[in-house]
Amino acid sequence: MNLVKKITIGLLASASLAVAEKPNIIMIFSDDMHYGALGATGSHNTKAKTPNIDSIFHEGVFFPQGYSSHATCAPSRAGLMTGRYQARFDYETLPGSTESRIKDDFGVDVNEVMMPAVLKQAGYRTAAFGKWHLGTNDHFQPNQRGFDHWFGYRGSCGYYQFRSEVQAARAGKKYTPKEGEKPMLDIVRNGESVQMHGYLTEHFTADAANWIKQEAKTDEPFFVYFAPYNVHAPDLAPPKYTPEGGSPNDGVIQALDVSVGGILDAVREAGIEDNTVIVFADDNGGKKEYGNDPYRAGKATFYEGGVRVPFAMKWPKQIKPGTKYDGLVSTLDMLPTFAAIAGADMPEGKPTDGYDLMPFIRGEKTAAEGRKVLFWRNGGAIAVRSGDWKLVMPVDRRKVAALLKSKGIVHEKGRMVTQAERDRALFLPPELYNLKDDVGETTDLAAKNPEMVQQLLKLIDEWEATIPRWRDE
């Protein structure tokens, strides 16, 4: 039996936990935050204070080797929601403009079963707030994918709904509403477009906190997906959030922490903290200019700075404060973990690429029994981590440009990658790093370890053999 087949068998979610009371579940997913932005991860290159987010790391389990399933926003969110590699359902690239998404009917295949639909089968009430990015047309929207309540962006995102508000925020001036001004963002509450003045993150936080407190009065467990736009560019936040001597980026980070604090306060006020699972993770690495120390590069790359993210989980009833799990963890693991603790069945007929993490967190299983391999793929590179070894292989953009020209393909944002572009002849030589000794990926060991290079390339080949050939010719 080859290694990929062994991996596939091992990826099945473990049996549901026998718990007397199903926990509430809150998934907090930040946007483009650099790795050291939190106090819990070093407060590198920031003056922002993040006591609320840090509390999740200190009061639960921290995953030092936690990864996002992709290096850019939309595919990463698709991996989280489905527990499956995006390559399996052709969602590996960023979408284009809102208009092009609508025209091209761009979104996650409606046959993919998402996290809220799985949890609803186990009796959960479900709600989502903030960024979606998994399809703009009605049939892709959260209310059609298992969420009972939805308040967020239909398509494009931002911190303010009106252009005049953005201009005032950039100039540091007080905003005065303009009569008759049309919104530049479509904010939706359960299918109905609404107009909201002020910092949108604050609106989403208030709505989420109220929803949590109302649901806590019922006998049904709930699932919340809270996905604020913070800390995505542009760096805009009310002045009250920017620490003294801080930058606009510090402001959006601190605004995120205050927002998370609002969620944590709602849980405490509702008296449900002990049996509420709260996970914090980021969708991908931050922009390179903010630094992802000690990791290399950032967003949109498969180096560590693009895919290793701050990642923690607290559940007072089940997880001891100050726990650390050093095994490989991915956002792909969240769906099988949530399904197991909720007593929900995983979707049938869909290869699951995640693990139930609770047996590892509780020490019932060792890291050696857990995840061995992670893959990342898009139109510009492919990467694999196996144990301490990491192989990264970017495409040669000049060769790809020549191929597209020969085929008459115009490259633009949202363009789906053809199978022809996955030809290994179009890639640059593989780079090899040992993350145990070189977490910053500074020394390419490919020339000194040709056998390891071939072993990792074989893993990629075996994995890609399980992936459909999209736009084959």
Distances (CA, A) of 33 to 41, 423, 464: 12, 33, 30
pLDDT at 3: 41
> Tokens 């050291």 correspond to what residue?
36
The secondary element (H helix, E strand) that includes residue 460 is helix 450-464
Which residue stretches of 362-449 are H helix? Answer: 397-407
pLDDT at 114: 98
Structure tokens at 319: 């997880």
Look up the pTM and report it: 0.94
pLDDT at 83: 98
CATH 3.40.720.10 domain residues, the chain? 23-371
Neighbouring CB atoms inside 10 A of 157's CB total 21
Confirm if 130 and 28 have CB atoms less than 8 A apart: no
Rg (CA), the chain: 22
DSSP 240-272: GGSPTT--HHHHHHHHHHHHHHHHHHHHHHTT-
Confirm if 128 and 227 have CB atoms less than 8 A apart: yes
Give pLDDT tens digits for 393-422: 999 999 999 999 999 999 888 889 999 999
Answer positive or negative: Cα dihedral of 40, 254, 337, 334.
negative
Q: What's the rounded Cα separation, in Å, for the pair 462 and 454?
A: 12
Residues of the chain with pLDDT under 50: 1-20
Give pLDDT tens digits for 357-379: 999 999 999 999 999 999 999 99
CATH 3.30.1120 domain residues, the chain? 379-464
pLDDT at 177: 77
Please state which CATH number belongs to domain 23-371.
3.40.720.10
Question: 3-state DSSP call for residue 299?
Answer: coil
The secondary element (H helix, E strand) that includes residue 330 is strand 329-330
Please state which CATH number belongs to domain 379-464.
3.30.1120
- How would you class 9 by CB atoms within 10 Å of its CB: exposed for 0-12, middle for 13-18, buried for 19 or more? exposed
> Tokens 């477009």 correspond to what residue?
193
pLDDT at 426: 97
